Amino acid sequence: FRYAEIQDKICIALGTICAVVCGVIQPYIMILFGDVTGVVVDYASKLNTSLTENQTQIIEDELYSGVRKFAILVSILGIVMIVTTYLAGVFFSSSALRQIFHIRKLILKKTLNMDISWYDINKTGDFATTFTEHNNGSCFGLEISVSMHGVSSSFIWSSRPSFMEKIKLSTRFSQQELEAYGTAGAIAEEVISSVRTVVAFDGQKKEFERYEKHLETAKNNNIRKNLFAAISNGLIWFFVFASYALSFWYGVGLILEERDLPENEKVYTPANMVSVFFCTLIATWNFGTGAPYFEIFGTACGAAAKVFEILDTEPKINLHKNLGTKPKTIQGNISFKNVHFQYPSRPDVKILQDFNLDIKAGQTVALVGSSGCGKSTCIQLIQRFYDSISGTVTIDDNNIKDLNLTWLRNQIGVVGQEPALFAATIADNIRYGNLSATQADLEKAAKKANAHNFIKNLPRGYNTVIGERGAQLSGGQKQRIAIARALIREPKILLLDEATSALDTTSEAEVQAALDAVSGECTTIIVAHRLSTIRNANRIIVVFEGRVIEAGDHRELMEKKGAYYNLVVSQGLSETEEVTEEKEINGVCNVTTPNETAITEDFPDENNLNDTEESNRGSSIVSILKMNRPEWFYITVGCITSVITGAALPVYGLVFGDIIGVLSDANESYVRDQSNLFSLYFVIIGIITAVATFMQMYSFTIAGEKLTLRIRGKMFRAMLNQEMAWFDRKENGVGALCAKLSGETASVQG
């Protein structure tokens, strides 16, 4: 209840009051039932004696009066129980659902607030699992826990040590199960988000086997968890019926010892025995029916552990603390002084070593070097995605650690090597750079990025939905929209990490000209492998193994004939080959403008996507059983043992009726023999019920887990075999498909 608000606590308090009232009524009804049973036994005993007609009428009137009183009181109490039980359920469910809704919002807010190093270590696919299986487990456990708290607390307390052990055991297995499902979810998210690459390399089978391997681990953990739960529940039912046997055997003995005493001296009567028995019955019944929920407590604890671990993690770089200074003006002077850095996920690999660099405001500085030398790391340190291990990064002589993080990032425009677009309209994607931008601002930024023309040629123009991660656009189109998004905020610092790498030669030249024009208005840092794009930079910095080894403009560095010269010479051949190859292609067909026209013609209309409705055809129980056909033996055993378990209480009722009838017999020896016999019957019923309960739970667990594994596997395989257009639909986003794999498939098992 750590995230319960005042409304939730009020609901819990009201629900507890209703549950207590309901809990008090139950044993009181049993006392009344004991009294009416005593009246019936007395009536039967007196009928065995010689009575006059008048005496017979009197005892019949006493019987009818007692039964009438019992019926009226029980009817009233029954209505009160119905109302209080309903209200308790409403209050507790409302509190639980409100809390889980609050927790889900906190999880999302917390994950978005985490520093980038946290994402380097944790798998993004785990988040969908956290929002479904982990969160549903904690929600169900929370709802059940508050529902049972008021009614069963006194009974549970006496058996707390054994319950705690069961909960600990369930928690351990649940954590292992959820960890395996989390890994499987991460694989599914990775594969679905890169499904085009997977299909292109015919990797569906390999990815399916990788996914299924972790599902198998989760299935085995859950079966082991339910094995112990089945043993526990079987033993519980045995002790329930054993307690019945002990109650009758001992109670009948006490009654027989006082049978010859006057009525006013008797302490142990059939009425008292029945009252005690049924109070024990209700307690053990709640114990037996409530036992499966202790497994849920364990599952909830395992799920909550992961959820609370995320919520309790304090990011090293906290965006929402709103700390730090906010300078009124910014010029854009950037300085790296003796910076050392390695990524938290790879602490043994040094990326920057004693890195020093000064960039003056308004300059265009290019960082070049081999892959892994630390160029992109500099870009990330300026955005303060990470903090340096030692040394300082300053902007206008202000340590970026002392600057307000939100303010800092609002001064920076970024275009990454891989454009990150969202499943929204083109206008929305550009506007994410500046939420207050007008339509005129959008078009102005798009024109600067050479994106306006192809956008206007799309069926819905700027209102075109581009699909998840911009799947409906070509690489060059996505990159130009990303550039427009960076330019629309008119940044003081512009960071370009291979910003033109996805463009063809013509578009690259046009966009580069636009970037050159904009770069005069701000400090620009370019990370580039194509050296042709950075020849006009004010300074070119050559980075090698995390250090600056050369600095100067293009002419100066070429004259030195050092590391930069060698890069230009080695890349000159590949650039020549690239131009020659492209000219040959252009000799056959024009691949620039017609390509964009083709995309325009084939672009799915948003209206058509909206017309596509998700199929929600319900599956009959027969269809599910057909999928579960390989486990027919376990299902058959489970059904048979379910019938046996269900018959236990009716058989108990018959035996109980016979015992009540025996108590009215005057033959003490006969009563003793029959009570011993019926007590033995209860023990036998307990043994049979215990075995049947174990077989029922374990058989259905195996059948259910194998069904879930089969459905998850078939669903994942079916997804990988879909055509690419299927993944472009709104309802088939990565998050939605991962949620279906983890949530809906588990619901089939129940």
Please check whether residue 598 lies inside any domain of the structure. Answer: no
Please check whether residue 416 lies inside any domain of the structure. Answer: no
Tell me if 707 sits within 8 A of 748, measured CB to CB: yes
User: For position 696, what pLDDT does the model report?
Assistant: 92
Query: Residue type for 192, please?
Result: I
280-283-287-293 Cα dihedral, nearest 10 degrees:
170
How far, in Å, CA of 348 to CA of 389, rounded? 13
User: For position 120, what pLDDT does the model report?
Assistant: 76
Tell me if 211 sits within 8 A of 184, measured CB to CB: yes
For 367, the enclosing helix (H) or strand (E) is strand 364-368
Residues 101 and 155 in one domain: yes
User: For position 749, what pLDDT does the model report?
Assistant: 61
Query: Domain residues for 187?
Result: 6-316+620-749
User: For position 748, what pLDDT does the model report?
Assistant: 64
Residues 287 and 392 in one domain: no
The strand pair at 364-368 and 390-395 is best described as unpaired
The three state secondary structure string of 619-653 is CCHHHHHHHCHHHHHHHHHHHHHHHHHHHHHHHHH
Residues 375 and 226 in one domain: no
Query: Tell me, what CATH number does 568's domain have?
Result: 3.40.50.300
How far, in Å, CA of 151 to CA of 21, rounded? 9
Tell me if 678 sits within 8 A of 658, measured CB to CB: yes
**Of 575, 606, 635, which residue constitutes the final position of a domain?**
575
- The alpha carbons of the chain give a radius of gyration, in whole angstroms, of 37
Please check whether residue 720 lies inside any domain of the structure. Answer: yes
Residue whose token pair is 């007196």: 46
Give every CB contact of residue 155 below 8 A, 6+ residues apart in sequence: 283, 286, 287
Q: What is the mean pLDDT of the chain?
A: 77
Q: Based on the number of CB atoms within 10 Å of its own CB, is 569 exposed (0-12), middle (13-18) or buried (19 or more)?
A: exposed
Give every CB contact of residue 56 below 8 A, 6+ residues apart in sequence: 47
Query: Tell me, what CATH number does 175's domain have?
Result: 1.20.1560.10
How far, in Å, CA of 396 to CA of 384, rounded? 15
Residues 178 and 283 in one domain: yes
Q: Residue 97: how many CB atoms within 10 A of its CB?
A: 14
Tell me if 45 sits within 8 A of 664, measured CB to CB: yes
The strand pair at 334-341 and 352-359 is best described as antiparallel
Q: What is the pLDDT of residues 628-641, one digit of tens each?
A: 788 889 889 999 99
Q: What angle do CA 136, 139, 141 make, to 5 degrees?
A: 110
How far, in Å, CA of 420 to CA of 303, rounded? 31
User: How far does the chain reach from its first CA to its final CA, in angstroms?
Assistant: 26
User: For position 140, what pLDDT does the model report?
Assistant: 43
**Residue 535 three-state SS:** coil
Tell me if 517 sits within 8 A of 456, measured CB to CB: no
List beta partners, residue 398: 395
CA atoms within 13 A on the CB side of 679: 17
Residues 64 and 201 in one domain: yes
Please check whether residue 491 lies inside any domain of the structure. Answer: no
Q: What is the pLDDT of residues 356-404, one digit of tens each?
A: 999 998 888 999 988 888 888 999 999 988 888 989 999 998 999 888 8
Residues 211 and 344 in one domain: no
Contacts 24+ apart (CB under 8 A), 650-655: 651/685, 652/241, 652/244, 652/682, 652/685, 655/681, 655/682, 655/685
Furthest CA-CA distance within the chain: 135
Residues 111 and 233 in one domain: yes
User: For position 609, what pLDDT does the model report?
Assistant: 36
User: For position 124, what pLDDT does the model report?
Assistant: 56
Of 411, 433, 263, 229, nearest in space to 332 by CA: 411
Please check whether residue 504 lies inside any domain of the structure. Answer: no
Of 569, 524, 574, nearest in space to 367 by CA: 524
Residue whose token pair is 């997804």: 719
User: For position 644, what pLDDT does the model report?
Assistant: 93
Tell me if 635 sits within 8 A of 703, measured CB to CB: yes
User: For position 371, what pLDDT does the model report?
Assistant: 80
The strand pair at 412-415 and 493-497 is best described as parallel
How far, in Å, CA of 228 to CA of 698, rounded? 9
Residues 303 and 182 in one domain: yes
Q: Residue 432: how many CB atoms within 10 A of its CB?
A: 16
Residues 253 and 374 in one domain: no
How far, in Å, CA of 223 to CA of 436, rounded? 54
User: For position 595, what pLDDT does the model report?
Assistant: 41
User: For position 378, what pLDDT does the model report?
Assistant: 92
User: For position 489, what pLDDT does the model report?
Assistant: 86
For 393, the enclosing helix (H) or strand (E) is strand 390-395
Residues 242 and 214 in one domain: yes
Q: Looking at residue 536, what DSSP letter applies?
A: T
Low-confidence ranges of the chain (pLDDT < 70): 1, 44-51, 123-179, 259-260, 263-267, 281, 284-303, 319-321, 501-504, 507, 510-511, 514, 517, 520, 571-620, 664, 730, 743-750
How far, in Å, CA of 43 to CA of 145, rounded? 45
How far, in Å, CA of 369 to CA of 545, rounded? 9
Split into its structural domains, the chain has a count of 2
Please check whether residue 482 lies inside any domain of the structure. Answer: no
| Residue 103 Cα distances to 289, 339, 578, angstroms | 29, 39, 54
Q: What angle do CA 71, 77, 79 make, to 5 degrees?
A: 105
Please check whether residue 506 lies inside any domain of the structure. Answer: no
The order of strands in the sheet holding 364-368 is 412-415, 493-497, 523-527, 364-368, 539-544, 547-552
User: For position 684, what pLDDT does the model report?
Assistant: 93
Please check whether residue 34 lies inside any domain of the structure. Answer: yes
Tell me if 522 sits within 8 A of 332, measured CB to CB: yes
**Of 575, 605, 632, which residue constitutes the final position of a domain?**
575
Residues 202 and 297 in one domain: yes
List beta partners, residue 547: 544
User: For position 695, what pLDDT does the model report?
Assistant: 93
Residues 336 and 311 in one domain: no
How far, in Å, CA of 450 to CA of 377, rounded? 28
**Of 517, 550, 575, which residue constitutes the final position of a domain?**
575
Residue whose token pair is 């993944």: 727
Could you tell me how far CA 444 lies from the centroid of its own chain? 41
How far, in Å, CA of 470 to CA of 488, rounded? 19
